[in-house]
Amino acid sequence: MSALIPRPRRTVADGAVLVPDWLDVDRQRGIVDACREWARGPVPMRAARLPTGHAMSVQTVCLGWHWQPYRYSRVADDAGGGRVLPVPEWLAELGKRAVADAYDDPAAGAAYEPDAALINFYDDAARMGMHRDQEERCGAPVVSLSIGDTCTFRFGNAETRGKPYTDVGLHSGDLFVFGGPSRFAYHGVPKVFPGTADPGCGLTSGRLNITLRVTGLG
């Protein structure tokens, strides 16, 4: 929900920018509807399995390239063998606008061509441990869009999983972009706050996060 007192945009680290309330509620609802479609298949939304054998608590469906710990493929061999849907033009365009707005740099936005999207759904108990987005062979920024319940997003440094890090609240509609010196920083989601979203966003519970990436894969 938009705050009565607007939250200011914030540079959390060099190249890592939070733009609160970037998506209006109608746009959020449209994205939630699209996510529901994507979650049906041809590659169904599922909890990816870590090399330890444990399933992640987050459920994921991908566009453009299928991600599983820790690689990309065109075919989801760990989730039924279907071929991933492409990143739709409108979503790639949103990514361009996100980069342009976050960095106040229209040229950087125009040059941004995401070819993969990971859609993660968090129920009330889901979490994501500190990790780096490092399966991409490209240093282009990651664009992150959040819809639904507020979470704590922990944004750290490129060297270690631990401190120093900064905890920021990501609310429904917020944009977070991390690129440049922050592109390979560790980050995670230690907590989701149930019941904090405006149901007008299209989700009655839980949290959706979409990250757009440039894989650099052929």
Q: Which spans of this chain sit near ligand SIN (rule: CB under 6 A)?
A: 118, 120, 128, 144, 146, 153, 170, 187, 189, 209, 211
Residue 192 binds which entry of ligand SIN, Mn ion, none, with Cβ cut-offs from 5 to 8 Å by kind?
A: none
Q: Shortest gap between Cβ of 60 and ligand SIN (angstroms)?
A: 9
CA nearest to 114, candidates 135, 138, 146? 138
- 67 forms beta bridges with 72
Give the residue nearest to Mn ion (CB).
133
The one segment of 1-9, 19-27, 125-133, 189-197 that binds Mn ion by CB under 5 A: 125-133
Q: Shortest gap between Cβ of 124 and ligand SIN (angstroms)?
A: 14
CA nearest to 173, candidates 133, 203, 130, 140? 203
- 26 forms beta bridges with none
Q: Among residues 112 and 176, whose Cβ is nearest to ligand SIN?
A: 176
Dist. CA 121–CA 105, nearest whole Å: 30
Q: Among residues 4 and 51, whose Cβ is nearest to ligand SIN?
A: 51
Q: Among residues 112 and 153, whose Cβ is nearest to ligand SIN?
A: 153
SS3 state of residue 26: helix
Q: Shortest gap between Cβ of 131 and Mn ion (angstroms)?
A: 6
Q: Which residues contact 180 (CB under 8 A, 6 or more apart)?
A: 14, 15, 141
Contact call for residue 123 and Mn ion (CB under 5 A): no
Q: How far is CA 100 from CA 1, 69, 133, 143, in A?
A: 24, 30, 21, 11
- For the chain, the straight-line distance linking the first and the last C-alpha, in angstroms and rounded, comes to 40
The one segment of 119-127, 129-137, 154-162, 164-172 that binds Mn ion by CB under 5 A: 129-137
Measured in residues, the chain has a length of 218
Residue 189 binds which entry of Mn ion, ligand SIN, none, with Cβ cut-offs from 5 to 8 Å by kind?
A: ligand SIN
Q: Which of 133, 135, 191, 205 binds Mn ion (CB under 5 A)?
A: 133
Dist. CA 145–CA 125, nearest whole Å: 20
Q: Among residues 60 and 96, whose Cβ is nearest to ligand SIN?
A: 60
